[in-house]
Amino acid sequence: MLPTIVLVGRPNVGKSTLFNRLTRSRDALVADLPGLTRDRHYGRGMGASQPYLVIDTGGFEPTADTGILKEMAKQTLLAIDEADVIIFLVDARAGLTPQEFTIAQTLRKAQRPVLLAVNKTEGMRKAIVSADFHELGMGEPLSISSAHGEGVRDLIELALETVVEKIAEPAEPVDQDTPRIAIVGRPNVGKSTLVNALLGEDRVIAFDEPGTTRDSIEIALEKNGKHYTIIDTAGVRKRGKVFEAVEKFSVVKTMQAIEDANVAILVVDAKDGITEQDAHVAAYIVDAGRALVVAINKWDGLQDDEREWIKREIDRKLQFLDFAKFHYISALRKKGLNELLASVDVAFKAAMSKLATPQLTRVLGEATTQHQPPITRGIRPKLRYAHQGGSNPPIVVVHGNHVDGIKASYTRYLEGIFRKAFQLVGTPLRVQYNQGENPFDKEDERKKGEGLVTMRRRKNEMRAKLKQRNEQNKTKK
């Protein structure tokens, strides 16, 4: 189970900037304007020694009792309840404020580990600017710059150390041959009805009211002689509508269920069309690297023109799911379920595929022959060979020179080539790069004040000397 880190602080201290840096995204709006973030933002943290979930909150005004500030404070309190560790962000340039004493008092009552981060310290003497914040009594202030990334990695590693006991708990043994399937989607799209239809019994509550399922439920399923583990999750409600205390864990539980699964079935309500929240859930599944099958539910209740409209919406809003199979089903009438499970089997097999190194290297060679990596900073990257680095999702590690200059567009090109070559349907694929050793590494480093032409001339001269020395050695022999 992934640990959850929550960012808390008064308005305009840099929480959303830090969130975007941790998730390597631009999901949270950022501007020099207090109160821009109002709802909670959920994301998957990257760049640390292990994965984690991170939640961005709006500006915290604990004493607010009316209006939008009260609702923002309510959202922050719900996020605090979901936290394994809290990062309390303060502004070095604004200094210590009375609000922050109130926030500190609220965080102490939450009984969660808290790290005090002093933001916006770039270009300042960190020991001096952080000294005043000792008054909060929240431990040693840690100086960072969320905009420039200074001290952020150390802050996150320290935060993860505080919850290491949770991460280190021995997990129950998992049968690698049994697919774990997470049923995810917005509330009231028919997830529990789909689970009951697959099981052939009313195992979970299915009711025409959003939010009936409050927690993730694991159920064993045997179908057509095959075994599965079904995870029915609470609906991912639009963040601004998650107010009930009993629902406060729904989003985090759903995200953790996706992380624990091999395959996710994203259930979409055909009557509502493809909503922004559907796209967000789909994007999180892709970011987590999980195999995916999309079930367009309640298809039987639509007219022909409505069906055509839904298909156009899918092409427009979910085009990034080109690797996934789409099924048009009716969970209530049990239509299309066999085909749905067949696609789950195909996606699971693709996610757990073993890819041979010689085949990967041959496909890589054909791909680079067809389309070479673009030149970056005057040098074209050279890709040598590839091997598999992991499964679920399949990871292809490409070795070569100057791979740090490869652009994201070329990486997507290689991902598509590998997926097509190995017929990997229903699973994302990751391409990672490993810089190979180069005997001319020292030569390739451009000296201070040296131009590109001068550097190349120097390299050619050194290579000529090396060739001459090798020929002389052969002559002596």
List the binding residues: 9-16, 56-60, 119-122, 185-192, 232-236, 297-300
CB-based contacts of 442: which residues, under 8 Å, 6+ apart? Answer: none
- Helices (H) then strands (E): counts for the chain: 15, 15
Own/partner long-range contacts of 383-390 (Cβ < 8 Å, ≥24 apart)? 384/436, 385/357, 385/360, 385/361, 386/357, 386/360, 386/361, 387/357, 387/360, 387/361, 388/354, 388/355, 388/357, 388/360, 389/432
CB-based contacts of 43: which residues, under 8 Å, 6+ apart? Answer: 19, 22, 23, 25, 27, 53, 54, 55, 56
- Residues at the annotated binding site for GTP? 9-16, 56-60, 119-122, 185-192, 232-236, 297-300
Q: How far apart are CA 378 and CA 397, in angstroms?
A: 24
Cβ atoms < 10 Å from Cβ of 370: 9
- Give the DSSP H/E element, type plus range, for residue 160: helix 152-161
Q: Which two tokens stand for residue 162?
A: 């505080």
Q: How far apart are CA 265 and CA 340, in angstroms?
A: 9
Residue 447 per-residue DSSP state: P
Residue linked to tokens 């210590």: 96
Q: How far apart are CA 141 and CA 119, in angstroms?
A: 10
Q: Is 106:74 a contact under the CB 8 Å cutoff? A: no
Q: Which two tokens stand for residue 412?
A: 């997507």
- Find, among 319, 343, 305, 21, the residue nearest to 151 by Cα: 21
